Structure 1
């Protein structure tokens, strides 16, 4: 809700032409779902709470996918699971090299992706790299992602990361109308999967094989 609120406030300001997502945590950019919280609520039988959380995550992804300015992930720490999906939802990605892994650990924790999540990964990853990342659950570093064109640049450290991502953001002075329409058309299939393919899995809590 806080992230959705932040995007609402940004959208009200027409002087903003790009958004850069960074973390105040020097170690972690985003670790996605809190598995301890998830298991506790499963044991409590709080199905509605779990469903609401998953739908809420999709709301954040949808907001980024349709936001009418460039959204740039400045990955300054670990990105795991849904955190990596969040980065894939963004239009562009930068990552620092001195610390942080990018990983989809779902294969090792028995949690399959929702259909729209796979589509978001496909948006950011070339097919060969997507298969390797998903089926191995390997921890990838910035240089590897740069070589695969998943990120624009592997930056030396935090300062270089912010300088590069902010400088890149400053190159955009596009009209929101056309930028938003292009994103809507480019990401239409992902949004359709969220609306049609994801709900049966979420509503039936088919979160494990």
Structure 2
């Protein structure tokens, strides 16, 4: 489900290999386990999906079948976002395809994002699927995007192409599909030489309110 690759120069790549890469409990645990495995050896990190999808976010089928575990489930998602914000490891999301909803927020929890310039979308469709953002999710989006872009993404559910995402400040680069991972590795390698403890300390200070919010309420409230 999660493949680990050593790209050299201290950069490791985590490849999500589960179709739409929705956040099933097994997927979330797999990402956490992979991060544990590379901790101490990696100097920078790239995550990517395969084919059409980076990640489509919450596993709504699992959630609908396990409603009594919804608070635990959302807490696990919050913890994953928070881990990317807190870790002493620079990270780049190589968005090879669709990054929707929770998958888009996973990309935002990285330090930088590279998107494919065609047939890939960034979208936070919660307003259209009647799932309000938790306070932690809202804090993450608002911390990583400009006020104008956060307002538009959260209240309109707009789909951004790669070039549009770069223009809006969501992504750092938009490149052809076959260059997405390579470009992300280049960005990660440029960060790999920095002291991880210092890098992580600076990020934790920058995003302390979002980290605190992700540690708080984890309930998906009905509209």
TM-score band w.r.t. shorter chain: 0.7 to 0.9
- Please, which of 55, 69, 79 is the counterpart of residue 99 of structure 2? 79
Equivalent residues of 1:32, 1:82 under 8 A apart:
yes
- Please, which of 182, 189, 193 is the counterpart of residue 170 of structure 1? 189
Alignment partners' CA distance in 2, 1:11 and 1:187 = 21
Alignment partners' CA distance in 2, 1:170 and 1:194 = 28
Q: CA deviation at 1:103?
A: 0.7
Alignment partners' CA distance in 2, 1:53 and 1:37 = 10
Alignment partners' CA distance in 2, 1:194 and 1:102 = 21
Q: CA deviation at 1:8?
A: 1.2
What are the residue-to-residue correspondences of 1:61-76 with 2, within 5 Å? 61-76=81-96
Q: CA deviation at 1:41?
A: 2.4
SS in structure 2 of the partner of residue 100 of structure 1: coil
- Please, which of 41, 48, 60 is the counterpart of residue 35 of structure 1? 60
Q: Check if 1:17 corresponds to 2:36.
A: no
TM-score, normalised with respect to structure 2: 0.83
Aligned to 2:31: 3
More strand per residue: 2
Alignment partners' CA distance in 2, 1:142 and 1:124 = 17
Alignment partners' CA distance in 2, 1:116 and 1:148 = 22
Equivalent residues of 2:79, 2:214 under 8 A apart:
no
1:65-112 deviations in whole A, cap 9, x for unaligned? 111021110000101111111011111111001221111111011111
Q: Check if 1:207 corresponds to 2:198.
A: no
Q: CA deviation at 1:124?
A: 2.4
Aligned to 1:115: 135
SS in structure 2 of the partner of residue 123 of structure 1: helix
SS in structure 2 of the partner of residue 107 of structure 1: helix
Equivalent residues of 2:117, 2:162 under 8 A apart:
yes
1:162-183 deviations in whole A, cap 9, x for unaligned? 2211111111201111111112
SS in structure 1 of the partner of residue 215 of structure 2: helix
Q: Which has the larger radius of gyration?
A: 1
Q: Check if 1:191 corresponds to 2:211.
A: yes
Q: CA deviation at 1:7?
A: 1.1
- Displaced runs of 4 or more, over 3 A: none
Q: CA deviation at 1:123?
A: 2.5
Please report the RMSD computed on the Cα atoms of aligned residues, expressed in angstroms.
Answer: 1.3
- Please, which of 156, 180, 191 is the counterpart of residue 136 of structure 1? 156
Equivalent residues of 1:76, 1:99 under 8 A apart:
no
